[in-house]
Every structure is written in C-alpha cells, then in structure tokens.
Amino acid sequence: MRNLFSFLTAILMASSTIAQTIEVCKTCPISSIKDAIIQAKDFDTIIVKKGTYKEHDILVNKPLTIIGEKYPVIDGELKGEIITIISDNVTVDGLFIINVGTSYTEDYAAIRVRKSKNFLIQNLVLEKLFFGIYIEKSRNGKVFHNKIIGDAVEEYNSGNGIQLWYSKNVQIEHNFVQHVRDGIYLEFSDDCLIKNNVSTLNVRYGLHFMFSNDDTYQDNTFENNGAGVAVMFSKRIKMYNNIFKENWGTASYGMLLKEINDGEIEGNTFEDNTIGINIEGSNRINYKQNTFINNGWAVKVKGACYTNKFTENNFLYNSFDIAYNSNVNDNEFDKNYWSNYTGYDLDKNGIGDVPYRPVKLFSYIVNRTPETIILLRSMFIDIIDFSEKVSPVFTPDDLLDNNPQIKKLTW
Amino acid sequence: MLKILKYSFYDLIRSRWSYVYFSFYLLLGSVLLFLNNDLSKAVITLMNVIIVLVPLIGTIFGVMYYYNSKEFTELLLAQPLKRSSIFLGQYLGVAISLSMSLILGLGIPFIFYGLFKSSAIWDFSLLLITGTFLTLIFTALAFNIALSNENKIKGFGYAILLWLFLAIIYDGIFLMSLILFEDYPLDKLSLVGTMLNPIDLSRTLILLKLDISALLGYTGAIFKQFFGTSFGLIVSFIMLTAWVILPVLRIVFKSKKKDF
C-alpha cells in the first residue's frame, strides 16, 4: 500500500514537472493567448483569467488544455476566425467568444478543429458568430455543454451553430443553440452521437444531416426552427426520444426524411408542427412508440417509401393523420392509437373491431388544390370522407390499421 | 320593445321546448365528457355538433315560434305599439332564450368537470360565442322567412332548405368551384367564399384555434396574414356581426311594410 502511494506521488510529481500551467491575464507577463501558446510546451495547461482579449486567428498547434477562468471574453473584432485547432488532444474550456468575422468566401468559425483527434470543447459561450464550432476531418472528440447564440436573419449570410464535416465518432451533448442558420449540421460524418441538445429559433434547420451514416440522436429538443429538422441521404440513423415542436410554415416540418434507409425512429414527440414527419424516398424505417399531437399533418408520405412500419404510435388530434399522394401503399400500420378512430370494441380486448383508415379523401383534395384547406371540418367534407371510407377509390385500398387501439398508449 | 321581449322570453322559458333543448345540451355535454375524459377533445367534438345543430334548431324554432304566436302578434298590432319593437322584441326573446339554453346546457357540465382549471377555457368560450352568434343569425333568418311567407308549410320548407344549403350544399359548390378554378390564384376567393356563409365563418373561427398548424401549411400570403395574425379573428367577428345586423334590419323593414 505504501509502495503504491509513493508510486502515485512519484507520477504526480513527474507529471507536474512535465506539464506546466501558464497563466494569461492583462497584468501577467503573458498577456495574450497567442503568446501563451508560443511559450507553451506539449500537454501544458493555459489558464486564461477574466478579462477581454482582442485576438483572432489563434492557432493551437500543440496538445494543450486551454481553460478560461470566470468566462474571459475573446473578441474577434469581426476580423475572421478566432481559434483554430490543428493538433490532437486539445481541450478548450470555459471561454466567451464573440464577434466572428462574416465572409462570403470562407467559413469563419468561432472555433475550428481541423484534422485532429481526441479533442474536447466544453462550457463555451459563443455570441455574434458566423459559424460556431466547426469540426472538419477530425475524430474521437466531444463537444459538450456549449451555448451558442447567433443573430442570423437570412440564410445566405449566416453560418451553422455546430458543424461536422467528414468527421467520425464525435459526441455532441448538452449544447444549446439558438438563432443560427442550422443549429447542428452533419455532413459526411459517421458514428456520431447527438444527445440532450436544445436547438431552437434557427433560421433553417434545428438539425441537419447529409450523407452521414450510423449516427444516433436522442433526447434532443428542436423547437420553432424555420424548417424543423432535416435528415437526408443517410443510412442507419437512430432517433430516440426527441421532441419536435412548433415548426410552423409552408415548408416547415417537425422532421423531413429524404432518402433515409434502415433507420429507427422511437419514442419521439411531434407537437404543433405543420407537418410532423415528411417522408420522401425512405425505406425500411421502424416508427415505434412516437406521439403525434396537434400537427397539421402527422405524417405526409410523398412517394417511393417502401416497407416502413408504424407500430404502437399515438396519433392525437392531428388535422390529418396520414397523407399520401398516390394510391399505392407498401407500408404497414399496426397497433396504433388514433384519436380520430370511431369504431367499437365489443369483445373488450382493447383493440377496435373495425380497421381504421388513416388516409382521408380530403387530404388528396388538399394536396391537389391547397386552398380547399379552408373547408376543413366542414360537414360536406365529412360526408365525402365517410363515403370514401366505406368504399375507397382514391385512397390506398390496403392502407389499414387492423388493430387500432381503443385507449391511448402509454409506455 | 323590452316589455315584449320580456313576455316572449318568459313565455319561451316556460315552454317545454326550451327545456328539451336545454336538457339536450346538458346531456350532450356530460356524455361527451364522460366518454372522452378529455376537455380539449370534447371541445372539438362539440364544435362539429354546434356548427350543424345550432343553425338547424335556430331556424326551425324561429319559424315555429313566429307562426305559433301569430294570433298574439296580431293582437299586439292592434295596440298603439311600434311595429319594429313588436317584432324585434319577439326575435330577441327567441334568440336569447335559445342562446341561454345553449350556454347553460353546455356550460354546467364543463364547469363541473373543471373547465376553469383547464387550458381549454378559451377554446370553449370561443365555442359558446360562435354558438350564440349562430343562434342570433339563424333566428333572424328564420323570422325573415316567416315574415315573407304566409303559408306555414312553405315557410318551414324554406327554413329547412336554407339550413341545408348553408350547412352542406354551399360547401359542396364551394369545393367544386375551387377545384374547377384551381389554375387561378384562389386564396382571396376562398376567403370571400367563407365570409359569405355564417356557418363557414364560425367554422373558420374555430379552425383558427384548433387547426392553425395545418392552415399555415398553405403558401398564400393573404392566407398567412389572415390566419397567422389576429386579423382573421377580427374580420371574422366583424362579418358575424354584419350577419346578425343585416337580417335584423330586414325584419324591421319588412314588418313595417307588411299587411296583416
């Protein structure tokens, strides 16, 4: 035991002699972060004291730990990129970064990680930014507990909050992103985990996936974004327990799925969206135990969607439950609860005795002539919907939920 | 006028039909709440019922009351009373007693169920307001029909036809014309079309509350302005008020000229 203790102290002593701590403050010998990085050796820790540092183009080219004490402000004065990390094993913690330069030719970011491994970016506050945290060609990193508040108004002159490009195995957790173009954007990035983030009030998408496979996103909240969340051209994406709320507008979706194959969508809540999920060309996806409340269209299926399964979902008070634009169907609906279901359950097994047809004729009419939406819930529409229900002509004949639940599902 | 209003009102309050109407709503409200266990869903169901049923009952009851009290009206006409006050008094008597049955009949079960603690209170009060407006409008229309037709059977026929037209046929024609002219910009036409039918108008009012997310899915800028802001609510209420005032003015006008 004593041996072990002395061994540990020896290691501690050794490491403290190797890794030094450099302090940066206005009155210290080293008063800028750039100088500190030049003076630092590998694996040193730089502590930035409270104050305002007017610096940009800070290049972190050795494995360092940069920690801010009481949120020192790094002001880029709108001159360009602020911190660029090109070394492995870098930690950046507790900084307040403002005034990133805007450019139409280069993507200036508050903090950029380029071709690095094992990075950790945490507890940052970013304001007045173009791009926030930009991770390119990097792997095995973590972006944790950052707050990104932009002031984006237009799509063309604003950047994304957290952007991943050709990166692998990155964890994005507990971040808060607001008022940027895309809250979180992944392109060509595989095996990432996006968890417990809140992305709201963004100009375009709360979360945006392009060509990224095998990613998981769970327990996130996406609220009031210009166009909701878009997941495109990706395979094997898992989406669990997210909340999609109040994405209103003509081209606004809780979630847009385009060319997504073999995904899993489970336990999510879609509330008050114009369109809950918009599906285009997506196959073999399991939708399970999701809740759709008060959406205009809970699920809008736009063709080329095969072998999707909707089981045990709650469809509550949506204006339209499911909308199709053709009368071909290869998707399966089973054991869902539909608040619009009007059947009965005589054998009292909790399953309605009459199958439910979730697609209404009126949704076809609205699809063709959008102005007719104004006749929603009119008695005439109820009558034609009823006659279509009795003998389907325009809606897919086999689109049925054979086991509609009588009571709302709880898990 | 107030005196006549009071007589018609008390007369109606004591009549069997008011009780039937009142207890119907009481039953409807309690059964809905009992079966749904959910205030907001019950409000949606009620909306469907109210929009169809209130106009029907308003028209039938209005026509019926006018024909039934014809002898009493003729007696009153022999007195030194203004004609407008006789007919307006009767009209308001019918309309107010019907609205009261509606408000109390639906209000009581919902209050007992805990309406005041629920977030559905605004939806529900909007429902009652539109219900009252519909009663006022359709009773006035019924009085118009009755004043213009001496023949009871004809009067009833027209009343039912009016209801059928505004509740169902109008929407059918509306839908067909929207589909027929789908190549043209239609958002103005569709809004005007809605304004011209009080049932559609009150339906839109309730849609504004319940289906706003679907309505915002449409591209038109006018739609967006109408549904996205309080503009729609204000215009709808103004139009509903106009729908009450115009038929009432015609009652006054017609009753002055009519030979009895």
pLDDT in tens, chain A (411 residues): 556 555 555 555 545 556 789 999 888 889 899 999 999 999 999 999 999 999 999 999 999 999 999 999 999 999 889 999 999 999 999 999 999 988 888 889 999 999 999 999 999 999 998 999 999 999 999 999 999 999 888 888 889 999 999 999 999 999 999 999 999 999 999 999 999 999 999 999 999 999 999 999 999 999 999 888 999 999 999 999 999 998 888 788 899 999 999 999 999 999 989 899 999 999 999 999 999 998 989 999 988 899 999 999 999 988 899 998 877 888 999 999 998 888 889 988 999 999 999 999 998 888 888 888 888 888 899 899 999 888 888 888 888 999 999 988 988
Phi-psi region of B216 (alpha: psi -120 to 50; beta: other; left: phi over 0): alpha
Chain B hits for A320, Cβ within 8 Å: 214
> Given CB atoms, is B182 within the 8 Å cutoff of chain A?
yes
Dihedral of the alpha carbons of B76, B81, B87, B90, in degrees to the nearest 10: -60
Beta-carbon count within 10 A of B16 CB:
7
Considering the entire predicted model, what is its pTM? 0.85
Phi-psi region of A317 (alpha: psi -120 to 50; beta: other; left: phi over 0): left
Q: How far is B52 from chain A (nearest CA, A)?
A: 8
Q: How far is B44 from chain A (nearest CA, A)?
A: 9
Contact between A224 and A244 (Cβ < 8 Å): no
Q: How far is B123 from chain A (nearest CA, A)?
A: 14
Give me the phi and psi of A116, to 5 degrees please: -125, 160
> Given CB atoms, is A362 within the 8 Å cutoff of chain B?
no
- Angstrom distance (rounded) from CA A108 to CA A102: 7
Percentages helix, strand, coil for chain B (3-state, rounded to 5) are 85, 0, 15
Say how many CB pairs under 8 Å bridge A and B. 107
For A321, name the nearest residue in chain B, comparing CA atoms only.
B214
**What's the confidence (pLDDT) of residue B226?**
77
**What's the confidence (pLDDT) of residue B211?**
72
- Angstrom distance (rounded) from CA A131 to CA A133: 6
B255, B5, B31: which is closest to B143 by C-alpha?
B255
Contact call for B217 and A383, based on CB within 8 A? no
Which residue from B178, B203, B206 is facing A371, i.e. has the nearest CB?
Answer: B178
**What's the confidence (pLDDT) of residue A106?**
87
Q: How far is A51 from chain B (nearest CA, A)?
A: 45
H or E element that contains A23: strand A21-24
- Angstrom distance (rounded) from CA A375 to CA A390: 21
Contact call for A319 and B213, based on CB within 8 A? yes
Three-state secondary structure call for residue A43: coil
In the predicted structure, residue B231 carries a pLDDT above the cut 90: no
Overall average pLDDT of the B12-22 stretch: 82
**What's the confidence (pLDDT) of residue A227?**
85
DSSP-derived secondary structure for B112-130: HTTSTTSTTHHHHHHHHHH
Which residue from B189, B207, B219 is facing A370, i.e. has the nearest CB?
Answer: B219
Beta-carbon count within 10 A of A139 CB:
20
H or E element that contains A13: helix A2-18
Percent of chain B at pLDDT exceeding 70: 95
Which range (A309-318, B1-10, B36-45) has the least confidence? B36-45
Q: Name residues whose C-beta falls within 8 Å of residue A360's C-beta, 6 or more positions apart in sequence.
A: A320, A321, A385, A388, A389, A395
In the predicted structure, residue B166 carries a pLDDT above the cut 80: yes
Distances (CA, A) of B203 to B206, B210, B242: 5, 10, 16
Contact call for B214 and A319, based on CB within 8 A? yes
Q: Which one of A317, A362, A374 makes the best mutation probe of the B interface by having the most chain B beta carbons within 10 Å? A: A374
**What's the confidence (pLDDT) of residue A154?**
87
Beta-carbon count within 10 A of B4 CB:
21
Which residue from B182, B190, B206 is facing A368, i.e. has the nearest CB?
Answer: B182
HSE toward the beta carbon, residue A37, CA cutoff 13 A: 22
- Angstrom distance (rounded) from CA B225 to CA A310: 36
- Angstrom distance (rounded) from CA A317 to CA A337: 11
Task: Return residues 52-111 of B near A (CB < 8 Å).
Answer: 52
Contact call for B189 and A272, based on CB within 8 A? no
Chain A hits for B223, Cβ within 8 Å: 371
> For tokens 């102005």, what's the residue?
A371
Contact between B66 and B59 (Cβ < 8 Å): no
Contact call for B171 and A375, based on CB within 8 A? yes
Task: Return residues 209-248 of A near B (CB < 8 Å).
Answer: 248
B126, B71, B114: which is closest to B240 by C-alpha?
B126
- Angstrom distance (rounded) from CA A234 to CA A376: 36
HSE toward the beta carbon, residue A252, CA cutoff 13 A: 33
- Angstrom distance (rounded) from CA A42 to CA A396: 66
**What's the confidence (pLDDT) of residue A18?**
65
Contact between A65 and A42 (Cβ < 8 Å): no
For A272, name the nearest residue in chain B, comparing CA atoms only.
B213
Contact call for A295 and B213, based on CB within 8 A? yes
